[in-house]
Structure 1
Amino acid sequence: MDARGRSAWRRGRVPAGVGVVVAWTLAFPGAVPNAVGRLGSLVETFLPWLGLVAPVLLVVGLVRRSATALLALVLVSGVWLGRFGGATVAGEAPGHDLTAVQHNVSDENRDPDGTARALMAARPHLIALQELTAPALPSYRSALAARYPHHAVHGTVGLWSAYPLRDVRPLDIRPPGFGDDWNRGLRATAVTPHGEAAVYVAHLPSVRLGPTAGFGSAARDASAALLGEAIAAEGPGTVIVLGDLNGTVDDRGLAPVTSRLRPAPPAFALSWPAALPLARIDHVLTRSATVVGIRTLPATGSDHLPVAARIRW
Structure 2
Amino acid sequence: MSRSVPRGMDPRVRDANPRMWRRGRVTAVASLLLAVLTASLPYAPRGWGNLGSLAQTLLPWTGLGVPVLLGCALLRRSALAAAALMVPALVWCALFAGDLADKRAPGPVDLTVVSHNVSETNTAPERTARALAASGADVVALQEMPRSGEGSRSYRRELADRYPYATVMEGVGLWSRFPLRDVAPVEILPWPRALRATVGTPQGPVAVYVAHLASVRVLPGAGFATRTRDESVAALAAAVRAERLPRVVVAGDLNGAVEDTALEPLTGQLRSAQGEAGAGFGLSWPAAFPAVRIDHILVRGVTARSAWTLPRTGSDHLPVAASLRL
Q: Do the aligned residues in 1 keep the contact of 2:306 with 2:322 (CA within 8 Å)?
A: yes
Q: In the alignment, which residue of structure 2 is the partner of 1:76? A: 88
Q: Structure 2 counterpart of 1:276, which letter?
A: F
Supply the distance in 2 between the matched residues of 1:250 and 1:220 (Cα, whole angstroms): 15
Q: Structure 1 counterpart of 2:226, which letter?
A: S
Q: In the alignment, which residue of structure 1 is the partner of 2:117? A: 104
Supply the distance in 1 between the matched residues of 2:226 and 2:192 (Cα, whole angstroms): 18
Cα-to-partner distance string for 1:269-311 (whole Å, 9 max, x where unaligned): 1100000000110000001012222111111000000011111
SS at 1:20's partner residue? helix
The structure whose Rg is larger is: 2
Q: How far does residue 88 in structure 1 lie from its aligned partner after superposition?
A: 2.5
Gaps of 5+ in 2: 1-11
Q: How far does residue 28 in structure 1 lie from its aligned partner after superposition?
A: 3.0
Aligned-residue sequence identity (percent) comes to 51
- Please state if 1:153 is matched with 2:168: yes
Supply the distance in 2 between the matched residues of 1:32 and 1:153 (Cα, whole angstroms): 38
Supply the distance in 2 between the matched residues of 1:79 and 1:203 (Cα, whole angstroms): 33
SS at 1:108's partner residue? coil
Q: Do the aligned residues in 2 keep the contact of 1:57 with 1:72 (CA within 8 Å)?
A: no
Query: 1:22-101 alignment to 2 at 5 Å?
Result: 22-90=34-102, 92-95=104-107, 96-101=109-114
Structure 1 pair 15–210 and aligned structure 2 pair: CA distance change class (3 A): farther
Q: Do the aligned residues in 1 keep the contact of 2:195 with 2:210 (CA within 8 Å)?
A: yes
Cα-to-partner distance string for 1:152-174 (whole Å, 9 max, x where unaligned): 11111000011100000010001
Query: 1:119-138 alignment to 2 at 5 Å?
Result: 119-133=132-146, 134-135=148-149, 136-138=151-153
Q: How far does residue 63 in structure 1 lie from its aligned partner after superposition?
A: 1.0
Q: Structure 1 counterpart of 2:184, which letter?
A: R
Q: In the alignment, which residue of structure 1 is the partner of 2:200? A: 191
Q: Do the aligned residues in 1 keep the contact of 2:133 with 2:158 (CA within 8 Å)?
A: no
150-159 vs 62-71, greater mean Cα deviation = 62-71
Supply the distance in 1 between the matched residues of 2:24 and 2:44 (Cα, whole angstroms): 25
Q: How far does residue 92 in structure 1 lie from its aligned partner after superposition?
A: 4.0
Supply the distance in 2 between the matched residues of 1:50 and 1:15 (Cα, whole angstroms): 16
Cα-to-partner distance string for 1:170-219 (whole Å, 9 max, x where unaligned): 10001xxx3xxx33110000010111111000000111112311111111
Query: 1:1-313 alignment to 2 at 5 Å?
Result: 7-90=19-102, 92-95=104-107, 96-133=109-146, 134-135=148-149, 136-174=151-189, 178=190, 182-264=191-273, 265=276, 266=278, 267-313=280-326
Supply the distance in 2 between the matched residues of 1:9 and 1:244 (Cα, whole angstroms): 49
Supply the distance in 2 between the matched residues of 1:259 and 1:101 (Cα, whole angstroms): 22
Supply the distance in 1 between the matched residues of 2:260 and 2:152 (Cα, whole angstroms): 32
- Residue-pair matches, total: 306
Cα-to-partner distance string for 1:117-173 (whole Å, 9 max, x where unaligned): 111222001100011111211111110111101111111100001110000001000
Supply the distance in 2 between the matched residues of 1:200 and 1:14 (Cα, whole angstroms): 51
Q: How far does residue 79 in structure 1 lie from its aligned partner after superposition?
A: 1.6
195-204 vs 67-76, greater mean Cα deviation = 67-76
Supply the distance in 1 between the matched residues of 2:119 and 2:140 (Cα, whole angstroms): 15
Q: In the alignment, which residue of structure 1 is the partner of 2:7? A: none
SS at 1:256's partner residue? helix
RMSD: 2.0
Supply the distance in 2 between the matched residues of 1:157 and 1:236 (Cα, whole angstroms): 22
Supply the distance in 2 between the matched residues of 1:147 and 1:173 (Cα, whole angstroms): 30
- The structure with the greater share of residues assigned to helix is 2
Gaps of 5+ in 1: none
SS at 2:271's partner residue? coil
Q: Do the aligned residues in 2 keep the contact of 1:93 with 1:310 (CA within 8 Å)?
A: no
Supply the distance in 2 between the matched residues of 1:159 and 1:309 (Cα, whole angstroms): 15
Structure 2 length as normaliser, TM-score? 0.89
Q: Do the aligned residues in 2 keep the contact of 1:25 with 1:32 (CA within 8 Å)?
A: no
Structure 1 pair 10–222 and aligned structure 2 pair: CA distance change class (3 A): farther
Q: How far does residue 91 in structure 1 lie from its aligned partner after superposition?
A: 5.2
